[in-house]
Amino acid sequence: MNGRPPLLSVRNLSVTRRNGSEPAGRPLVRDVFLDVRAGTILGLVGESGSGKSLTALSIMGLLPRGLCRSSGEISLSGRRLDGLSGEEMRRLRGSGAAMVLQNPMSCFDPVLTMTDHFTETVAAHDPALARDRDKRLGRVRKALAEVGFPEPDAVLPLYPFQMSGGMLQRVMMALALLFDAPLLIADEATTDLDVRAQARILDLIDRIRRTHGTGVLCITHDLGVVARLADEVAVMHRGEIVEKAPVEAFFSAPGHPYARALVAAHLCLHAHDAALERARFQRMEAAS
Amino acid sequence: MNLLELSGVTKTYRQGGVFGGKGRHLVLDQVSLGLRQGECLGLLGRSGSGKSTLGRIALGLEAPDAGTVHFLGRPVVARGLRRNGFARRDLQVVFQNSLGSVNPRLTAGDIVAEPLDNFERPSLAARRTRVAELLEMVGLRPADADKYPHQFSGGQLQRVCIARALAPRPKVVILDEAVSSLDMLVQAKILDLLAALRRETGASYLFISHDVRVVLRLCDRVAVLHQGAMVESPAGVERIGDFTHPAFLALVDSLLPATPPTRAA
Amino acid sequence: MTGLAAFLRRKTALVALAMCLLVTGMAVFAPALSPADPNATDLAIRLENPSLRHPLGTDHLGRDILSRLMYGARVSLGSAAIIVALVLGLSLMVGLLAGYAGGPVDAALMRLCDVFLTFPTFILAMFMVGILGMGLTNVILAIVLTHWAWYARIIRGLTLSLKNREYVLAARAAGTPPVKLAARHILPGVFVQLIVLATLDIGHMMLHVSGLSFLGLGVRPPTPEWGVMINDARQYIATRPLLILYPGLMIFLTVMSFNLLGDALRDALDPALAGQPAESEAEAAPSSLRPEVGP
């Protein structure tokens, strides 16, 4: 694409089950090699069990107990991540790299309001800002407005159960925007959402990419999301990357048999697209 | 005559506790629907639109507040837990979550044979043969009859559920988001399987889903449930371009593209 | 069964299990194991220190303490076991019926439970003993009457939650009649949770039996029972503190072991109850099933 070094660079990443403190058994993720450039979106595609979520968790240092990263060099903005301590990784999460997950309801504490969540996040990364109430609220309002809440003050006092999945996802993205994280990892962020909410979130991700120059690692099993958003595509199958290509090339001429099967199944569902376009067109004609 | 006929079905859910409902949520408003012999009817709607409620009412698992349900000309009555013998046999269901629709303590063979045990009471040998037959029909092996649900993958377990639904040779199968939890490749295979089975057995399907494209791929005719009201497509799926009702187009508008559109940098 | 493996791997579980088995064994094999007749009094050797013939010494009537402890286990643990069995049986019937039938049947049965839940155990026991006379049977009856309702409510709750699960709906759609539905699809789910609760409660029941016996309402003398032994030893607490320590310690250890066993059972069985494999899943994926290998 361009000559700049990638924002996120992952080389030879492997994840295995952990026995005590030693890796044991076959790797669940093997030799993953991927780049995310600033201002672009990499779509990481694969079916459940392929290891794509594990890859993301490994990058963020959030692997569950029982799993460990057995090898890999990870660099974010030129800084090596794989050697960092737990505390340093914690500081990085939210400010250097932000994550948006599949089930938004589970990411929020059910007894805290949105205000509390924002306060907590700010306090974790910028204690000085946390103390300055006006400044902090100003930033929070700005972030909420950017993700599509024209009246941020209406949202702040709400509890998670009072909000829809789509709304919660947008708040997650506002939390990510608070500290202008250069990398955003979206792991099946729209899978559990309604089609309309999904469209909004995808538009939002695209907009953030354009306005903030954020690099996005978008993990999904839905090729429609990839078609809509991605600049580059990487396909994972059974823990390995089997295909990597720019998005147009991926859809027009996939190489690996697995990638071909995916694209074929995807296009098979779109046989009626022309007819649907006609229906929409007719409606627009009738309306005008 | 329609195999399955819903007429004026209305259902309200009350929110709030015993002391005065906060609000009444009208889920289904005078809904009418007819499923013809040999067809696959797609029932579309956004999540929360009441499609699953309609499915349960059609099955007789829930009673509507108003309206009637007729199956093969006879009324289907949901009265507590009384079973309506004949209706059950010819009217089966496949749910979305395969792991949740099976008793985790039973083997696949027992799961598939449950309708057989209830309706036909076959001998042990006949039962085993029929279970093997059914498992092969859905693309599994007869040896899988001794496996437990947690030993199957999502797609395989859904095949078991489909085999169970087809065991009593039903005339109608209601599929409630049956492929929505499956990965794309698995979904494609299951859709192919469903289409093939329909041809083989002559059963009719009521296919409930929120996914427009999946419905268009499998079904002959489409109906949309929008804010409690039902809208049917004027013609079949092959003339879907003529279905311009706003309820349908609202679903179409949010669809993702097939291939990358030309993009601004 | 992965649950069993997980259970056996935890040290506290093994120790608790060993202790429970020990006490149970002691109760069952008391006639064979005890060094002497627990009721044989001999005032000449009263309040003796531990010796070879009487490993824990003798009580104020010259009876061998170790033998009394062993036979006492029969009464204390035995009655607790009977109580748990009766409570489970009664509460299962009521709870399943209430949860399953719903509507007016459910409401009526729950009001019945409410009535029984208001009775405090000790007061009811004293009331019954006053009317029906002293004795272990009446004590057991009183404890059963005050505890069954609590279990019935729990079982009803479990039944309600299982009744609307998809696999029960699927079984109904497959034509399964109500009784078979309850037996095959609902009861197994309820039962596993119940075993855990019952194990945790055996200690509780035992304390009730011992407490009531301590108050003089339970067993008739000279039947050995740990609560009675504590009562007997009260007057000698200054001169022979060990007399009160032995039965007290037995109660403490037994109750604690059953509690730990119950805890361990619950932890071991929980993942299996939820329908997921016990080992941690590799992918944080929506389904908990194995990844696709084939079609």
Complete domains list, chain B, with CATH: 4-253 (3.40.50.300)
Q: How far apart are CA A207 and CA C187, in angstroms?
A: 53
Q: What is the pLDDT of residue B249?
A: 87
**C261: pLDDT strictly greater than 70:** yes
Q: In what order do the strands lie in the sheet with A240-246?
A: A97-100, A183-187, A215-220, A41-45, A232-237, A240-246
Q: How confident is the model at residue C9 (pLDDT cuts 50, 70, 90)?
A: low
Q: How confident is the model at residue C280 (pLDDT cuts 50, 70, 90)?
A: very low
Identify the residue with better confidence: B157 or A19. Answer: B157
Mutate to test the interface with B, among A41, A162, A188, A195 (most CBs of B within 10 A): A195
Check if B156 contacts A (Cβ < 8 Å): no
Q: How confident is the model at residue C202 (pLDDT cuts 50, 70, 90)?
A: confident
Q: How confident is the model at residue C288 (pLDDT cuts 50, 70, 90)?
A: very low
Per-residue pLDDT reduced to its tens digit, B34-44: 999 989 999 99
Across chain C, what does the average pLDDT equal? 80
Query: What percent of chain C lies above the pLDDT cut of 90?
Result: 9
Q: Do C175 and B115 touch (CB under 8 A)?
A: yes
Nearest of B179, A113, B15, B118 to residue C174 by alpha carbon? B118
- Nearest-CB residue to C175 (from B61, B89, B189): B89
- Nearest-CB residue to A49 (from C279, C280, C283): C283
**B83: pLDDT strictly greater than 80:** no
Average pLDDT over residues B80-95: 68
In chain A, where the domains are located: 8-96+182-287, 107-178
- ipTM field: 0.82
Per-residue pLDDT reduced to its tens digit, C35-45: 888 888 888 87
Q: What string of DSSP letters covers A156-205?
A: TT--GGGS-HHHHHHHHHHHHHHTT-SEEEEESTTTTS-HHHHHHHHHHH
Strand-pair category, A8-19 with A67-76: antiparallel
Tell me the angle at which helices B154-166 and B184-201 cross, rounded to the nearest 10 degrees. 10
Per-residue pLDDT reduced to its tens digit, B233-249: 888 888 888 888 888 88
Q: What is the pLDDT of residue C26?
A: 87
Cα torsion C87, C90, C91, C94 to 10°: value is: -170
What's the maximum distance between 2 C-alpha atoms anywhere in chain B?
69
Q: How confident is the model at residue A38 (pLDDT cuts 50, 70, 90)?
A: very high
**pLDDT-wise least confident of A164-173, A266-275, B83-92:** B83-92
Strand-pair category, B74-75 with B229-232: unpaired
Element housing B51 (H / E):
helix B51-59
Check if B22 contacts A (Cβ < 8 Å): no
User: Is the pTM above the cut of 0.90?
Assistant: no
Residues of A with CB under 8 A from a CB of C: 17, 28, 47-51, 53-54, 57, 64-67, 102, 191, 238
Give me the long-range contacts of A59-62 (CB less than 8 A, separation at least 24).
Answer: A59/A8, A59/A10, A59/A13, A59/A97, A59/A185, A59/A217, A60/A89, A60/A93, A60/A97, A60/A99, A60/A185, A61/A86, A61/A89, A61/A93, A62/A93
Contacts of C29 (CB under 8 A, 6+ apart): none
Helices (H) then strands (E): counts for chain C: 12, 0
Identify the residue with better confidence: C43 or B218. Answer: B218
Across chain A, what does the average pLDDT equal? 88
Q: Do C282 and A49 touch (CB under 8 A)?
A: yes
Q: What is the pLDDT of residue B140?
A: 92
Q: What is the pLDDT of residue C94?
A: 92
Identity of the highest mean pLDDT range in A253-267, C69-83, C208-222, C263-277? A253-267
Q: What is the pLDDT of residue B86?
A: 47
Chain A partners within 8 Å of B261 (Cβ)? 227-228
**A233: pLDDT strictly greater than 80:** yes
Q: How confident is the model at residue C5 (pLDDT cuts 50, 70, 90)?
A: low
Q: How far apart are CA C194 and CA C92, in angstroms?
A: 9
Identify whether the C-beta of residue B151 lies closer than 8 Å to the C-beta of residue B68. no
Q: Do B88 and C181 touch (CB under 8 A)?
A: no
Please name the residues between 235 and 264 in chain A that touch chain B, using a CB distance below 8 Å: 247-248, 251-252, 261-262
Q: How confident is the model at residue C289 (pLDDT cuts 50, 70, 90)?
A: very low
Cis peptide before A160 (omega within 30 of 0): no
Chain C partners within 8 Å of A56 (Cβ)? none
Q: What is the pLDDT of residue B263?
A: 59
What's the maximum distance between 2 C-alpha atoms anywhere in chain A?
69
Phi and psi angles of residue B49, each rounded to the nearest 5 degrees, phi first: -85, -5
What single letter denotes the amino acid at residue B260?
P
**C137: pLDDT strictly greater than 90:** no
Average pLDDT over residues B98-117: 91
Mutate to test the interface with C, among A44, A48, A52, A240 (most CBs of C within 10 A): A48
Complete domains list, chain C, with CATH: 2-27+57-274 (1.10.3720.10)
Average pLDDT over residues A132-147: 90
**A268: pLDDT strictly greater than 80:** yes
Average pLDDT over residues A268-285: 85
**C63: pLDDT strictly greater than 50:** yes
Q: How confident is the model at residue A3 (pLDDT cuts 50, 70, 90)?
A: low
Instruction: Tell me the three-class secondary structure of A104-128, residue by residue.
Output: HHHHCCCCCCHHHHHHHHHHHHCHH
Q: What is the pLDDT of residue B15?
A: 63
Q: Do B81 and C100 touch (CB under 8 A)?
A: yes
Identify the residue with better confidence: B261 or A34. Answer: A34
Average pLDDT over residues A238-253: 93
So what CATH class is A8-96+182-287? Answer: alpha beta
Query: Does residue C251 sit in helix, strand or coil?
Result: helix
Q: What is the pLDDT of residue B95?
A: 92
Per-residue pLDDT reduced to its tens digit, B1-36: 788 889 999 998 876 555 555 567 888 999 999 999
Per-residue pLDDT reduced to its tens digit, A167-206: 899 998 898 888 888 999 999 988 878 788 888 899 999 9
Tell me the angle at which helices C103-117 and C136-163 cross, rounded to the nearest 10 degrees. 140
Average pLDDT over residues C34-58: 80
Across chain B, what does the average pLDDT equal? 86
